[in-house]
Amino acid sequence: MTATAARDLAGRVCFTDIQRFLSLFAQGLAGKFLHVKVIESQATGGGAKRFIDGESIHVPADIACFSAREHNLGAYRIAVLHQIGYLIEGTLEFDLADLLQQHPRPALLRRVFGTLEDMRIEAAMRRRYPGARDDLDRVQAHALALRPQTQPMRPVPALVEALLQYSLGAARDALQASTRGELLAKLIDTAAVVQRQGARVADSAHAALRICAELGNLLRRLPRHFVTPTTPEEFARLRDSMESLNDDEFSASDAAGLAFDYRGQLMTDPSAKRRTGGQFAAAGMETHAAPGTVAPGTRDAADARDAPHAAATIARAPVAAGPRSFLYDEWDFHRQSYLSAWCRVYEQRLRGDDFGFIGGVRSRHAALEKEVRRRFGSIKPLSWQRVRRTSDGDELDLDGVIETVIDRRTGHDADSHLYVRRDRARRDVSAAFLVDMSASTDFPLPDPAAAMTAPVDAPAAQPPDSGLYLYGGHDESPAAVSTPKRRVIDVAKDALALMCEALQTLGDNYAIYGFSGDGRHNVEFHVAKDFPDRLRSSTWAALGAMQPRRSTRMGAAIRHSITKLAREPAGMKVLIIVSDGYPEDHDYGADRTDREYGIQDTARALQEAERAGIVDFCITIDPAGQDYLRRMCAPSRYLIIDDVTALPRELSKVYRTLTS
Amino acid sequence: MDSHSAASRLTDEPWYLPLADEVQIFEAAYRARLPVLLKGPTGCGKTRFIEHMAWRLYRESDSARRSLELPLLTVACHEDLTATDLVGRYLLSGNETVWMDGPLTRAVRSGAICYLDEIVEARKDTAVVIHSLTDHRRVLPIEKTGELLDAHADFLLVISYNPGYQSVLKDLKPSTRQRFVSLVFDYPAIEIEATIIAHESGVNAALAQRLALVGEKIRNLREHGFEEGVSTRLLIYAAQLTAGGIEPRRACDAAIARAVTDDAEVQRAIGAIVDVILP
């Protein structure tokens, strides 16, 4: 290894080492979560995908352009800052596709517009982030050093290249000396408008149109500057000039020659504008739309409902109006290591309008409700206890006062603990119930009445290994669905509703969450009742709104529950997970059939819960649960219920046992 | 006892930059003797606001209440704070027990403003004594002495709470909440926050503007373990350290990054945000 290569290696910064850091850096500055991704190369089959779409930032897999590590890290920061600039400075709000469609030389216009936008954004960057100027200077100088000479080029490409080099900080005089000085000076003067404070994307578009018009005029002016060609060389030169406006040659990215592409590439797809339009005003503080189907803005509505009517809001509106998201590591069983900040959990409030839900539960389970209440009522503690001889309290402790007076009169030290105070001898328990809301909970339960009358040779339920479909199997005959049937999720909701009522009696602090999701970037965490919430009609409606959704990425949901429980000051913390199948998601492992990955990640998450002092318990309504539960948790920490309708009774038993 | 209470003589005007119409609303509430609830995140200026209002109402030259020595009694509520701590208790003095007024009783007798900071932290029995003071009765029942104390004409009760504070299991009951005029605070807009930072620390306007921008950006990371973002108070601390000769990036590290989170990666990201924003 040469000394230079060794030096490069020492300074190299790899994306995988700084992924979370860059993600946090980008989120802080942009005001929203952005996926920071590696630029996929042709070699990896992804093509050079680095489009700026308002949702992602694309950076190289590693940077080793500079010998010093902090300079390479600075280059990463510049890449993030530059691409955030497209969002903050309004580039994505501009309909570039529309502009290009109306122009005779769209590739040329796009190239010039891109260069001007980069100039505008970098000028704004210098003003907005003065601490990044040194890094930007360094990155620009490095990129500039690798640009080609303009002298051998034909006039128009030479001018476009000169403009790009000017945007990278090349000296104006040097450029003008080598490339059609007078015209280049005019182009640079036109371009310089975008570097002024307050320049907008429309200024870049206007300047780009003017520059393209000048470049178009160049061809018409060329003959006046040339002698009539008489030699083959002069003919060739003129032909080259004529062809210099062949638009296709500008279709390649101007970033192709950069050492690394820190600038990204603008999209011409107007849908990008629709996705991000209006979100980034000057301050770049707005929030992003929620993934999934939960309506954005619901939190705003909730805040409005919660706010007292007499309230006068001072200062700016709350920043976060969309669902909050949280990043969690995930345990990669195959690599035996954590994947840092791998899963994004979106926390959102469940809201429902079925205010008759609890009435239905009570009528369905009248006898059970009384039984559960009675069972829980018997362990309700005494409400108050008197603590004597405290340093302060509600009343003087007469015995203490007498002793103190005697001590004083006899010349001894007097005790200052003279009071009696009343302390609530409360159960110090916080419990979180985490309910699987995966698609499989949609399957109807076997009708007990039908089962009793069914012929003996009726087809059995699908074997457990048939995947998600545990209840009702794949029977698609109309008769099987002709009457509305209760589903797994319905029974789970009934069980939780009964628990809520019982826990109110007991006075324990509790929360009810549901989880589902679709891939690691979109783990859904639904809050029906959070710890501080009081039980009210909207809580019942939220519980009633739990519906089957997508996958079962259990590890991330458990980790988020741990975070929430960790904030509770209770002495005893309990996490009860109610699920109907093994952990599963389309990217939960090497492929969808990789069950072990999800099981091991869930097992790891449960270990994390135990380390955090949380008592966890899994209740599974999957006859095949034994297969994986024994690998996820200790035998005393799970229960398999064959008959899902027994869930309400079993859940209350489990809770009482765990917390007594 | 009431060791957590603090009285202020308010000899100098506490500086406060109004953000909206909160000063007018508070003055109108005071004229009608309507109790006030201040709601907002930590370090956004609630306490400074109440000090400023107490000064305006009790210390301005045309105030008829200038003679009151202690116009503002503040109680920092905690989970063991009981009604007794607010109202008073018997103390053993020599060979006899003597009654000692608590801060609330002192304010009720003297006509001061009593400010109960983070009221939801206190025990539930405090609501009992608050309720009778916040409606038309304006009385304080002192159970242990059998006294039913009529509030002084100038007395006003002000409470604060922070709805975003995660460790709070309790919430204000509607029966308590709906006795107060509510003023909702949030961290100020960037220009106003810069003015506040500059005034409180003495740093120049340009640096104050940069620090306010740092605050705005760091609040975008509040989902990563610090629910309330960085407070205006911490930004002022960073500015004060800078004014005291500490290099600005180091000051931000000590006063902001290390203060808001223990997550090393988040601290690093905050450091990078500070680094690019500061000149």
Report residue A6's pLDDT band, with 50, 70 and 90 as the boundaries: low
How far apart CA A602 and CA A434 sit, in angstroms, is 13
Predicted confidence (pLDDT) at residue A541 exceeds the cutoff of 80: yes
Residues B82, A394: C-beta atoms closer than 8 Å: yes
Q: Are residues B146 and B256 in the same domain?
A: no
- DSSP assignments along B175-239, one per residue: HHHTTSEEEE--PPPHHHHHHHHHHHH---HHHHHHHHHHHHHHHTTTTSS-TT---HHHHHHHH
* Cβ distance of B272 and A404 shorter than 8 Å: no
- In angstroms, the CA A35 to CA A58 distance is 8
Contacts of B72 (CB under 8 A, 6+ apart): B7, B8, B10, B50, B51, B54, B58, B112, B113, B115
Give chain A's largest Cα–Cα span: 130
Q: Which of A406-420, B122-136, B208-222 has the highest mean pLDDT?
A: B208-222
Classify residue B63 as exposed, middle or buried by CB count within 10 Å of its CB (0-12, 13-18, 19+): middle
Mean per-residue pLDDT, B110-129: 88
Element (H, E) at A429: strand A429-436
pLDDT value, residue A546: 93
Does the pLDDT at position B168 exceed 90? Answer: no
Cα torsion for A612, A613, A619, A620, to the nearest 10°?
30
Segment A537-553 mean pLDDT: 90
Mutate to test the interface with A, among B48, B52, B92 (most CBs of A within 10 A): B92
pLDDT of residue A265: 57
Are residue B174 and residue B231 in the same domain, yes or no? no
| Greatest mean pLDDT range, A113-117, A255-259, A271-275, A486-490 | A113-117
**pLDDT at A96 exceeding the cut of 50:** yes
For residue A452, pLDDT beyond 70: no
- Identify all chain B residues contacting A343, using CB atoms and an 8 Å cutoff: none
Looking at the structure, do residues B50 and B107 belong to the same domain, yes or no?
A: yes
Measure in Å the smallest separation between the Cα of A444 and chain B Cα atoms: 38
pLDDT at A264: 60
Q: Are residues B97 and A21, on separate chains, in Cβ contact within 8 Å?
A: no
d(CA A366, CA A359): 10
- Predicted local distance difference test score (pLDDT) of residue B267: 93
Distance CA A469, CA A462 (A): 7
Contacts of B184 in chain A (CB under 8 A): 307, 311-314
Of the candidates A604, A577, A598, the residue with the CA atom closest to the CA atom of residue A586:
A598
The alpha carbon of residue A224 is apart from the nearest alpha carbon of chain B, in Å, by 51
Which among A81, A134, A564, A28 has a CA at the least distance from the CA of B267?
A: A28
Residue A41 has pLDDT above 70, yes or no: no
Classified as helix, coil or strand, A382 is coil
Task: Report the SS3 class of residue A15.
Answer: helix
Is pLDDT above 70 for A409?
Answer: yes
Q: How far apart are CA A231 and CA B74, in angstroms?
A: 97
Residues B134 and B10 occupy one common structural domain:
yes
Mean of the pLDDT values across residues B61-71? Answer: 87
Q: pLDDT at position B125, please?
A: 81
Give the mean model confidence (pLDDT) for residues A459-468: 37
Domain count for chain B: 2
Q: What is the token pair recorded at A187?
A: 């182009």
ipTM of the complex: 0.84
Which residues of chain B are within 8 Å of residue A327 when distances are taken between CB atoms? Answer: 224
Chain B residues inside the 8 Å CB shell of A31: 217, 220
Domain that holds residue B54: 5-184
For residue A322, the model assigns a pLDDT of 60
| Percentage, residues of chain B above pLDDT 90 | 63
Q: B148 and B127: one domain?
A: yes
Taking the C-alpha atoms of residue B126 and residue B161, their distance in angstroms, rounded to an integer, is 14
Q: Which amino acid, one-letter code, is at A619?
A: I
End-to-end CA distance of chain B: 49
- Summarize the confidence of residues A540-565 as an average pLDDT: 93
Confidence of residue A7 (pLDDT cuts 50, 70, 90): low
Q: How far is B14 from chain A (nearest CA, A)?
A: 19
Q: Which residue of A has its CA nearest to B25?
A: A312
Interior/surface letters A418-450, b for 16+ CB within 10 angstroms, e for the rest: bbbbbeeebbbbbbbbbbbbbbbbbbbbbeeee
Q: What is the pLDDT of residue A285?
A: 28
Distance from CA of B265 to the nearest CA of A (A): 6
Cβ contact, residue pair A131, B276, below 8 Å: yes
The pLDDT-based confidence of B202 (bands split at 50, 70, 90) is very high
Kindly report the nearest CA distance between residue A320 and chain B, in angstroms: 8
Where among B184, B200, B226 does a domain terminate? B184
Contacting residues of A for B192, CB less than 8 Å apart: 315
Q: How far is B260 from chain A (nearest CA, A)?
A: 14
Instruction: Determine, for residues B84 and A31 on separate chains, whether the beta-carbon distance falls below 8 Å.
Output: no
Closest Cβ opposite residue A311 in set B167, B168, B182: B182
Q: Which of A228-242, A503-517, A532-546 has the lowest mean pLDDT?
A: A228-242
One domain for residues B232 and B102: no
Q: Which DSSP string do the residues of A395-421 spell out, in sequence order?
A: EE-HHHHHHHHHHHHTTPPPP---EEE
Give residue B97's pLDDT band: very low, low, confident or very high (50, 70, 90): confident
State mean pLDDT over A413-436: 81
Residue A361 has a pLDDT of 85
Q: Summarize pLDDT for A8-22 with one digit per residue, the tens.
A: 667 899 988 888 899
Predicted confidence band at A444 (pLDDT cuts at 50, 70, 90)?
confident
- For residue B224, what pLDDT is reported? 72
Mean pLDDT of A593-604: 89
CATH number at residue B167: 3.40.50.300
Contact B273 A29 (CB under 8 A): yes
Residues of A in contact with B177 (CB under 8 A): 308
Q: Do A395 and B144 touch (CB under 8 A)?
A: yes
The 10 Å CB-count burial string (b at 16+, else e) for A305-344 is eeeeeeeebbbbebbbbbbebbbbbbbbbeeeeebbbbbb
The answer to whether A315 contacts B276, with C-beta atoms less than 8 Å apart, is no
- Condensed to tens digits (0 to 9), the pLDDT of residues A355-388 reads 788 888 888 888 888 777 777 766 655 456 677 7
Q: How many CB atoms lie within 10 A of CB A481?
A: 12
Count of A-B CB contacts under 8 Å: 146
**How distant is the alpha carbon of residue B255 from its chain centre?**
20
**Contact check, Cβ <8 Å, A285/B216:** yes
Residues of B in contact with A394 (CB under 8 A): 82-84, 89
C-alpha dihedral (A648, A649, A654, A660), degrees to nearest 10? 120
Q: How close does chain A come to B181, measured CA to CA in Å?
A: 6
Q: Note whether B37 and B161 are same-domain residues.
A: yes
Q: What is the DSSP string of A443-510?
A: SBPPPHHHHHHS-TTPPPPPPGGGTT--SSTT---GGGGSS---BHHHHHHHHHHHHHHHHHHHT-EE
Average pLDDT for A172-196: 86
Residues B172 and B223 in one domain: no
CB contact under 8 A, B169 and A308: no
Average pLDDT for A80-104: 86
Whether B186 sits inside 8 A of A315 (CB atoms) is yes
DSSP secondary structure letter of residue B157:
E
Query: Is B254 found in the same domain as B142?
Result: no
**Interchain CB distance below 8 Å, A320 and B189:** no
pLDDT band at A410 (very low <50, low <70, confident <90, very high): confident
Please indicate whether, in this complex, the C-beta atoms of B188 and A308 are within 8 angstroms of each other: no
Cα–Cα dist A575/A619, whole Å: 11
**Among all residues of chain B, which has the CA nearest to that of A534?**
B171
**pLDDT score for A266:** 53
Residue ending a domain, choose from B184, B206, B240: B184
Instruction: Name the residue type at position A482.
Output: S
For chain A, domains (ranges, CATH) are 3-276 (no CATH), 357-378+429-442+487-659 (3.40.50.410), 385-423 (no CATH)
Lowest mean pLDDT among A243-257, A551-565, B166-180: A243-257
User: A290 and A302 in contact (C-beta within 8 Å)?
Assistant: no
- What is chain A's mean pLDDT, rounded? 76
Amino acid A301: pLDDT: 37
More confident residue, A142 or B169: A142
The pTM of the whole model exceeds 0.80 = no
Paired tokens of B96:
């006899």
- Contact: A308, B177; criterion CB under 8 Å: yes
Are residue B251 and residue B172 in the same domain, yes or no?
no
pLDDT at A226: 45
Q: What is the pLDDT of residue A383?
A: 54
Contact A140, A168 (CB under 8 A): yes
**Residue A156 backbone zone (phi > 0: left; psi -120 to 50: alpha; other: beta):** alpha
Q: Which residues of A172-186 are buried (b: 16+ CB within 10 A; e: fewer)?
A: eeebbebbbeebbee
**B18 vs chain A: nearest CA distance in angstroms?**
9
Among A122-126, B88-92, B220-224, the least confident range: B220-224
Task: Please determine, for residue A321, whether its predicted confidence score (pLDDT) is greater than 60.
Answer: no
pLDDT at A304 exceeding the cut of 60: no
Phi-psi region of A47 (alpha: psi -120 to 50; beta: other; left: phi over 0): left
Task: State how far the Cα of A155 lies from the Cα of A180, in Å rounded to an integer.
Answer: 8
Q: What is the pLDDT averaged over residues A243-260?
A: 51
Distance CA B30, CA B23 (A): 10
Q: Give the whole-angstrom CA distance, residue A147 versus residue A149.
A: 7
Sign of CA dihedral A249, A252, A255, A258: negative
> Which of B148, B168, B184 marks a domain boundary?
B184
Q: With an 8 Å Cβ cutoff, are A310 and B182 in contact?
A: yes
Per the model's pLDDT, the better-predicted residue between B70 and A622 turns out to be B70
Same domain? For B259 and B170 the reply is no
| Res B28 pLDDT > 70 | yes
H helix intervals, A179-225:
181-192, 201-225
pLDDT score recorded for residue A296: 34
> What does each C-alpha distance from B279 to A104, B207, B242, B255 come to in angstroms?
44, 8, 13, 18
Mean pLDDT for the stretch of residues A110-129: 93
What residues in A contact B276, CB-CB < 8 Å?
A: 29, 77, 81, 129-132
Q: Indicate the pLDDT class of residue B215, thresholds 50, 70 and 90.
A: very high
The residue-averaged pLDDT of A585-609 equals 88
Element (H, E) at B92: strand B88-93
Q: Which is nearest to A338 in space by CA: A545, A559, A491?
A: A559
* pLDDT on residue A278: 31
A535 vs B101, residue with greater confidence? B101
Candidates A24, A384, A403, A538: best to mutate against B (most CBs of B within 10 A) is A24
Contact B28, B150 (CB under 8 A): no
If one compares A176 and A113, the residue with the highest pLDDT of the two is: A113
Q: Do residues B67 and B113 both lie within one domain?
A: yes
| Interface touch A20/B265, C-beta < 8 Å | yes
Q: Find the CB nearest B277 among A31, A32, A131.
A: A131
Mean pLDDT of B180-185: 94
